Structure 1
Amino acid sequence: MSYRGRGRGGGYHNYNNNNNNNGRANFNHNQVDSYIAQNSIPIEIMGWNGASSDECVNFISRKCKVVVMNHVVDPATGVLKGYVKTQQMANDLLEWSGVKFAGQSLKFSKGGDTFSNKINPGNTIDVITQFIKSRYQPEFKMLNLSAVKHDPILVNQGFFNSISTTSKFFPALMKIAADLKLEVLSVDLSGNELTDLSTLSAMAATFPQLQNLSLQNNNLSRIKVFETWKHKLNFLRELLLRGNPLLANLTSASDVENIKLEIMRAFPRLIVVDGEILRNEHVLNESLSFGFPSGGSMFFQDDEIRNMATNFISNYLNLWDSNRADLMVLYQAESQFSMQVDTSHPYLLESKTNNSAGTDFGYYLPNSRNLTRVSSAKTRSSRVAVGQEQIFKAFSQLPKTKHDLLAKPENFSVESYRYSQVNGVIITIHGSFNETDKPDNLDGLQSSVPSGPRNRFAYNQNKKAIALGHKSFDRTLVVIPAPNGAMIVASDLLLIRPFASKDAWKQPQSYQITPPSSAQSSNPSPVPAVTVHGAPSANDLPPEIKSSLNPAQQELLVKVVLETKLTLQYGIMLCEQSSWDYQQCIINFKNSVASLPREAYTT
């Protein structure tokens, strides 16, 4: 909007006292903050920690139609504070308490209250730190947080003088406990007058290995309060709930059983509730312990990586099949996800007839980021989902699935090794899945593609239903360990392709290496054929090849031809062009696989 042509008065004379000699506004940042604070309503937001504060404010603007201004994060409590323009906006925002953001429930309240004047702000951290240390029992790895409102030191400091200050105590405590890096397996929260668990949402990240939890003698009355920790306390074994209206108000045995079933769904390893054994711990551990079969289709850098990767993958795919929203705790504001479709994969080991039901890629093509098919820089950029909100939207536009990982682990292949550049781990899994239902977000899938007759990937609700089927996939995740044992997915690459059976990586019983014919080979000295029974080794190579290669090169050549199924002739060419570097060999092979002739392969 241009201001040219307006008179000098034009509504600006009211600020003459604040103008400098050049006629420019002389407000500084502190004056702006002061002006906003005096002419706006302060509000506070809890439960936003699943993403960045900017993403939370943008979400509130879109979802709640309320603009939060001048927002900051209280470093002591973790509460997001800001201002809205009117009292009505503040009241409207309060009605949105409980709205889901980044897998958590937001809670809004009017601000204005701070910790009691008895507390020196610089001393708050010291007070809570000493309180935690006094309540921690290292021999039992237990943190006793029972009846904190009756602790004389905390009461004297004024932590519970108002509802606002009380709500800030547990978030602050969890943040400080996380910094202390205590090893905690048991927490006692009894006798704290808790009506919900929103102020304790950070506990799952602070104590991810928690096994025993007491919530006795509180005011919990709804099963929904456990949504805060659903699928987050994955090692919780025992829970105490006596003295809460949740169970005390139930009159029928069936209602009690239903409540217990809901609690078990929230905590996958829960065994005991109020002293009652709810399920067989041995059977449960066996079903949740996913052991990949040994063999050539699996690679783990060491035992630590094996344990981490197998546990992560089994839980990840379980949630991918059942509730993708719960995966959002693994993704942060900088996390990225992209999906591509490869319809021309060369290894279709099943017949065309058997694959016909699984080759409809209509649900995937609109968002596919296959760089060999998508050349526009703008489109390439738009098909990378960044941050929790975009990633969840992308997830909801993919069909629902079922991976038979636990029942048939032999149908999957996994590679995992350390990625030292980011102090993380790379996990790649290959396998197949069954599509069980259409995507949840069909409208979003349709709107993500420009309309028009030229767009052959556009989804049209009037066309015949897209067939569900059996497809194969390759997924690579860069996982970074977060503090206290949590995990962050920094990068997530998903490739969807036509179904191929597990024979694609099955260890062959005999391996035939044959050269190309002399007419097809650029090498004037053809390599003789050799049959290797069982697992091939350098000893199985022809003498004329062994004489020209050192032992390390011989071992690398055997490894490359075994994994790529190339003939010796092409295997040597690949190794030479890759400077005898294994990783570069695999990269170069993947880049050129579509252009290699049939004669380049042994089978």
Structure 2
Amino acid sequence: MAAHSQSPRNAPRGPAAKRRGGGRGDKDGDLMMDVAVKGRGRIGKSAASASSGRDLTSRVSRGDAKGGILSGTARSAILRQAASGDVSMRESRSAPRGGLVELQITGWKESKASSDKDGGVSSLIRWMEKKSSHRLGSRTRDVRIKKSRRDGNTVFIKVAPEDVGALVRMNGYGWAGTTVSIERVGESSQKAISSGAEDTKAMLRGVLERRYNFETKVLDLSGLGGDEELNKKNVFDQKSTTKKIFPALMRVLDLSFDSDVEKNEAITGVTLANNGLSELTDVTSLSLTLPKLQNLDLSNNNFEKLSALDIWRRRFYNLQHLVLSGNPIEQNEPEYPAEIVKWYPNLRMFNDVQVRTEEEVASKAKIELPFPIRSALFQDEGGIAENFVRTFFIGFDTDRAALAAHYYDEQSDFSFAINTQAPRDPAGSEQTEKQEWDHYIRNSRNLKKISQLPARQNRHFRGAKAVADAFNTLPKTKHPDLASEARKWMIEAHIQPAVPDPSGQSPGGVDGFMITVHGEFEELDVATGQGKKKRSFDRTFIVGPGGPTGVRVVNDMLTVRAYGGAQAFEPDQLEGWATDAQPSTNPVEAVAQLPAGLTLEMAEQMVVELQKQTGMTVQYSKDCLEQVRWDFQKGVEAFASVKANLPADAFVQQA
């Protein structure tokens, strides 16, 4: 989202990047992804990998615990801050300029480059510049070491102040067979005392950067239980901190980028191999942080049944390559691959075996709607509105606390109300029950019935924690799948000007979105997980820039009512919405006529934009673009040349 402008900018996504590489190390010590390390390490419980050789169930000595910044109760509190958003990982935009800063490098002398003419100093300098320039986050820049000199076993360098952070974070990196130490001159004896939270955020950022490969766009989170830096800080000593370490890493990752678009472009693959995972509860935040992941490695864990993976069944829509080899599920449920392939419509490779060709994926895309849009009233920019809807309702059904932390901040508002007078589905068989609204009535903010100011105020929730608490008072739910049950949804989005700018840089506000969603859900029985009551709902979001991930909910209003069916917003013809074998009745239905490189989603956006600029109906806008072979500018020119001769029914009639 950007500052308010005269017209919305519709920026369709480009083609997905191709997957590269896997899990071995290159000559620079970078991590690759195509080889999974054998072993069954559990995060914080058992040995992380064969190479670590470390028993993570053993406790460190009392002296070590005192020395670690994450010892005792303080450790848990600091990690909680990192996960909840109290810690900012963004580097300052206003770093002091002027004089150069001197750093010292030790530990390099025993490297494999020591036989070089200068002992390896030139190779060391080039490596440091390359690695620090390709660091994780939005503000990457070419780092240049201005001056260097050698004094015995120490190399001294001078760099610009804004490059210090990128170089110091490389402290402890492996280079040419040895480990180098990088720190400010005099820091070892005069290091300033910093807060535990700042130490923790720097440590977590360092873990992510060490494990990120800039060239392959892979984040290697395998064998976390054997990570030397994490164990040095004793994060696996207590169950409470062990559970928080992954959400904290995801929180730091979010804060390293200015937008979701940059983050999704920077990281296309993640490996969680060798973490001893038997379920996804502790790592579920990965699907909220990187929803557009293309490559995922879950090999060599402890997944025994397909149900252990169900939480990610409707996530990772863009997933192309999945690895699950080395899990007990291979013996327990040998037929599970067929079901996995159904879960992910864009999956090409599973366990390094091709399951779909590019042609099959492309053919499937032609006959499926990319998003259940019921009308032309869906304005988007860079897929922000679409990605929000895809992510939100999955998160609401599976992990509401993580969802609240992901999209809501201290200025976000939420309220809900029940409408007991709404008409019920005439074809339905559900009967009215006594006290069927008990879970909602206490906090329902129906302004037609709640007239007292204190009561109204008490039913208005502001801030991420208050919103999460309010979410938890509502029954557990399951919404229909957006892809396979599209007819049960009605979704619209509009550019919303003058959304408050949390940075304060645009006093008049910025462009955001108003997203309205109408649909249904089932209330689930907590004990059995089965549906027990079906409801209809209406939900309106105002979203804008800001928050932990670059997109925040400014306002969220939910109305829950008795189940009323979906007849009101079904299209005139239902073919194509439910099955793959039938053609789409989308406004851009003639998919076969689209030029090469133009996706259905891009064509939809072109129709919407032409309709907005000309006032023509959807059908006339589509016909106009077809006649000029989907050249938008030529479409505008063609409209201008024939506008005077168009019939009245070519234009949207104003009420």
Tell me if both proteins adopt one fold, taking TM over 0.5 as the criterion.
no
The answer to which structure, 1 or 2, has the higher relative contact order (CA under 8 A, 6+ apart) is 2
TM-score by length of 1: 0.44
Structure exhibiting the larger radius of gyration computed from Cα positions: 1
Which has a greater percent of helix? 1
TM-score by length of 2: 0.41
